[in-house]
A = this chain, B = another copy of it.
Amino acid sequence: MIEYRGLKVALLGAGSVGSQVARLLLEHADELASRAGASLELIGIAVRDVDAPRDVDLPKELYTTDAEQLILSADIVIELIGGIEPARSHILQAINAGADIVTANKALLATHGPELFDAAEQVGAQLYYEAAVAAAIPIIRPLRESLAGDRINRVLGIVNGSTNYMLDRMDRFGDTMEDAAAVASELGYLEADPTLDVEGYDAAQKATILASLAFHTTVPVEAVHREGITGITKAQVDLARSEGYVIKLLAIAERIVDETTGEEGLSARVYPALIGREHPLAAVHGGNNAVFVEAENAGSLMFYGAGAGGKETASAVLGDLVSAARRHVAGGPGVGESTHADLPVLEIGRVTTRYQVTLEVADEPGVLAAVAGILSDGGVSVETFQQSVASSDGTLSTATLVIGTHRALESALAATVEQLASNAHVERVVSVLRVEGAE
């Protein structure tokens, strides 16, 4: 029997993830010890209420309400409380006490990441957070380490399972947004207050983390352009399908050049966009997540799996815990956060992408010429132009125009859409969607 050095592990929080982490730590103690090169002793679980009901039955004596005392005895602190406070204070306390940290707290990292990374760097502590983005899908470590010798150009992520579930139902089962939301709610995919998911706040937090890592630059969450899926209609989803696209809520981090200044920068943004059916991201169904990475040398890579769940997230937490333990055994600093590139974060207007613009226009002579003229004057080049089913409302008849553009600058496109909206021939701008995942 090999004798391992013992490491003391403190767990903060015993919710759906925390209780699974505790269970696995206890059940797989031997296997984890041989992988980590150290035995991992769970010394306590800090909770608000020791007697609250839990998902997993654990020894009562592990629970404590005194997080601060627990932290002071630990080599490694696993923070699974979520939210900003008291998670932030606990992590700072643990760092200053010399512990390494494992956390799944995306909200905290997105808003206070630099503060925590700085604190850790000052004392040589490590902060692991694989579980903060896309649960068990290894994406943090590949970006930090596997692609450390490459140059990432673009990251396209489906990083919110709830909204992907809803959009997938609309696409594959013909649900309306309301129906899809109702089913998602019933299955527990949506919180009582679904705003964080459907308005893209959750995805924006993950975009901040991915963009910061991919581009070695601190990207504040406020700098992420954010649009949710609440405006997406069944008609848009159906039109997308008939044109060979599917609508996905994407978190995008992209290296771009500001066309006006020539300055290199990055864009971080979240919005529902069209993706071609042949794109690997189009096949990400249900509540799954996937992150598609385009790198200068590695080419296109995709990382796919479950994006949520107690056991799934616990798997990522334990992987980080083993890494932290190996580092404790080995000594020496680990991989620090790197912000050496420090690229400017460019606003959404500086982004170029392709667009699908749907208009209702009067079915009368001169319309096409007028629309084409406005697009051309606005610097927006047209790739496809379809006039579909004309309908009649009694007096006038109306036609629907679906315009697919080449890559255009977002600011130019926005100004052009305003021009279109105010043109006498144009009755209504039905929809403006961006097309991602293509050149």
Contacts and interface: CB of A to CB of B under 8 A. Distances in A.
A333 B37 CA distance: 11
Contacts of A315: 147, 149-150, 295-298
Interface in A128-150: 130, 135-138, 141-142, 145-150
Given A35-B149, A149-B32, A338-B34, A312 B299 contact: yes
B304 A304 contact: yes
A26 interface: no
A198 B333 CA distance: 46
A317 interface: yes
Contacts of A341: 31
A136 B298 contact: yes
Contact of A297 (B34, B296, B299, B314): B314
A217 interface: no
Interface residues of A, number: 62
Interface string A15-43: 00000100010001001101111000000
Nearest to A137: B301
A333 B330 contact: yes
A280 B282 CA distance: 11
**Which of A36, A130, A145 has the largest number of chain B CB atoms within 10 A?**
A145
Nearest to A136: B298
A323 B148 contact: yes
A304 B305 contact: no
A151 B315 CA distance: 9
A268 to B, nearest CB: 20
A136 B303 CA distance: 12
Contacts of A149: 24, 28, 32, 35, 315, 317-322
Given A148-B318, A283-B280, A318-B149, A34 B340 contact: yes
A217 to B, nearest CB: 12
Contacts of A283: 280, 283
A130 B145 CA distance: 11
Contacts of A135: 298
Contacts of A320: 149
Contacts of A194: none
Contact of A299 (B136, B318, B331): B136
Contacts of A145: 138, 141, 319, 322-323
A312 B301 CA distance: 10
Contacts of A34: 216, 338, 340
A316 B298 contact: yes
A302 interface: yes
Contact of A312 (B280, B298, B304, B336): B298
Given A24-B149, A145-B322, A149-B315, 12 more contacts: A31-B151, A32-B149, A34-B338, A136-B299, A138-B147, A147-B315, A149-B319, A298-B305, A298-B312, A299-B311, A301-B305, A302-B303
Interface of A: 20, 24, 28, 31-32, 34-37, 130, 135-138, 141-142, 145-151, 216, 280, 283, 295-306, 309, 311-312, 314-323, 326, 330-336, 338, 340-341
